[in-house]
A and B are shown apart, each in its own frame.
Chain A
Amino acid sequence: MAEFHGVKSRWEIKYEWSGGIAISRFMQGLKEGKILGVKCPHCKRVLVPPRIFCERCFIELTEWVELSPRGKINTFSIAYIDTNALPISTPQINAVIDLDDARGIIGIFHIIGEAKPEEIYVGMPVEAVFRPAEERTGSILDIKYFRPLKEGKPNE
């Protein structure tokens, strides 16, 4: 068979998304150093990330609540690769954190900081550490990371 030939290309596409009703408010909360959720009056769950509906009860949600930045590690992983599956030099601790004030299975994905990988366990109490106010942009990255909760040392 003859030699194979090919071409190279790339998609240069830019997007700009509106956060809509619920996520815009969630992002505003993050900018103010708060985790906001919406409460379903029917099933009583507090939903994070917030949406304008409860997918189970299928009703519109309008009651906003601020959640404690504390939670427990539902599960964790120690990543040695980046988004493109290329190796990284410093391992990253990924986790799903069940927020204390949410009812039901309501977690948030984030990274864990101020901890060594071998110290982490499922069920570990953690708290959100926000970036300084002037650095926040209204993004999930306004939370710098979650860190293990040390009793008597509130989130400064």
Chain B
Amino acid sequence: MTVPRIAVLALVTTLGASALGWLSRAPYDPPGGATGVLRLSWRLRGEKEEHCRKRTPAELEALPIHMRTPEVCEGRLVAYRLAVRIDDEPAAETLVAPAGARGDRPIYVLREVPLPPGPHRVRVRFARATSAHADRHTALELDTRIEAEPGAIELITIDPETGRLVHRAGAHAPASPDREH
């Protein structure tokens, strides 16, 4: 092999390896990098809504004696409505149904809303959606001021001790599982 050929071979190999090394770390800007995010995440044990009616005498007659309960109730977990307003503008409004194929699992909220950098008034309301007496049940509500930063996620969740919606800024949340440093 001649020296120029070895040089070409070395050059081509170096270029190939460098291309591989670069594509293995080439920068990528994920969407939404310049803005902040309002993340709503919580879990709520579903509330049951029951519809009861009296059994007719004929129905009772048809049942074995030990099963003759006068009332029959059918129940299911109710859905909730989530409404988010940022600076008095509606930012999200959705129906959140209980999880599971039969809708018998808890309600999980996981939703992200863009939050431009700067101060904002954020209002969240999470209330029963399907009950005729929705107003009788207390809704989860939060009305707070948030100073959003680019790339930061502001978390709204339920405080396990008070059972209320709270805002957690990034710095306070334990995000990394590393227990040793």
Do A and B come together as binding partners?
no
A residues contacting B by CB (< 8 A) are none
Interface residues of B (CB under 8 A from A): none
